Amino acid sequence: MSIKRILLTSTALLLITGCSRSNLTLDLTFRTEDLAQISVLTTVSERVTERMAFVIEEDIPLISIDDARMTVTLMKKDSADILFERLSSPISFRIMREAVEEEEADIENDQYGRFMETGITEQQLYWIDAEEREGGTGVIQINFTDEGASMWQQLLEENQGKKVGVFTRGGLVALHTVQEGGFKDKIIITGIPSAELAKVFADDVNVGAYVTFTRVH
């Protein structure tokens, strides 16, 4: 085969590959006016987007950010729709209390019981921190706004000895038994198998609580 034909073939393959790629352009809206927090959220949003895209395509996407606009270049055309659907899915962060027998539960879990809404949602969430402990395990600290801390303290006072659950997207992620002497303004979750898993959870919830993704066509 001649060099000219090889070059033509290579060019054709590049064109085919380029045509199969898909760009997803998103405007990011932040539920905060704190510029330092917006800067952190922009970085975390990129991390969450990259991880979600990798799960979809098993390939690291190309991501560029200009101010509050993010462009994601994907390998497959339908990946853009899937990625946008996942990014725009509500986080539905909830702190829920154990339901008493006569109450009609808002959520029922076959293994851990019945739970009621408390009014504490992502709106009362200030930030989630993730850290690594000795041995490589992870720990999560859920920090509340002033309003959230007040609601959490009242919840503790009224539910001594009962279970309180942390839910995201309708699933139970942590269970806490209310006891005297606990933290009054935060929740500490220990025993997470790895620090990386703790960081993924923190990123997902922080972005879900503070960032709205709007698709630009």
Measured distance CA(207)–CA(49) in Å, rounded: 10
The pLDDT assigned to 180 comes to 72
Q: What is the pLDDT of residues 114-128, one digit of tens each?
A: 999 999 999 999 999
In the chain, list all ranges with CATH 3.30.1360.200: 94-209
Q: Which CATH architecture has domain 19-89?
A: 2-Layer Sandwich (3.30)
pLDDT at residue 10 tops 60? no
What does the pLDDT average to over 73-92?
Answer: 96
Size of the chain in residues? 217
Give the per-residue SS3 of the chain. Answer: CCHHHHHHHHHHHHHHHHHHCEEEEEEEEECCCCHHHHHHHHHHHHHHHHHHHHHHHCCCCEEEEECCEEEEEECCCCHHHHHHHHHCCCCCCEEEEECCCCCCCCEEECCCEEEEEEEEEHHHEEEEEEEECCCCCEEEEEEECHHHHHHHHHHHHHCCCCEEEEEECCEEEEEEECCCCCCCCEEEEEEECCHHHHHHHHHHHHHHHHEEEEEEC
- pLDDT for the residue 115: 97
The mean of the pLDDT values for the chain is 91
Range(s) of the chain covered by CATH 3.30.70 = 19-89
Q: Model confidence at 21, in pLDDT bands (50, 70, 90)?
A: confident
pLDDT exceeds cutoff 90 at 11: no
Which overall architecture, per CATH, does domain 94-209 show? 2-Layer Sandwich (3.30)
pLDDT of residue 183: 74
What was the pLDDT predicted at 20? Answer: 66
Write out pLDDT tens, residues 167-216. 999 999 999 899 876 677 899 999 999 999 999 999 999 999 999 999 99
pLDDT digit string (tens) for 23-33? 999 999 999 99
Whether 72 shows a pLDDT value over 60: the answer reads: yes
Is the predicted pLDDT of residue 12 greater than 70, yes or no?
no
Q: Residue 14: which residues within 8 A CB-CB, separation 6 or more?
A: none
For range 4-11, the mean pLDDT? 46
Tell me which amino acid residue 184 is: K
Nearest to 46 by CA among 31, 75, 32, 26: 26
Which residues lie below 8 Å from residue 26, measured CB to CB, with a gap of 6+? 69, 70, 71, 72, 84, 87, 213, 214, 215, 216
Between these two residues, 10 and 150, which has the higher pLDDT value? 150
Alpha carbon distance, N-terminus to C-terminus of the chain:
43
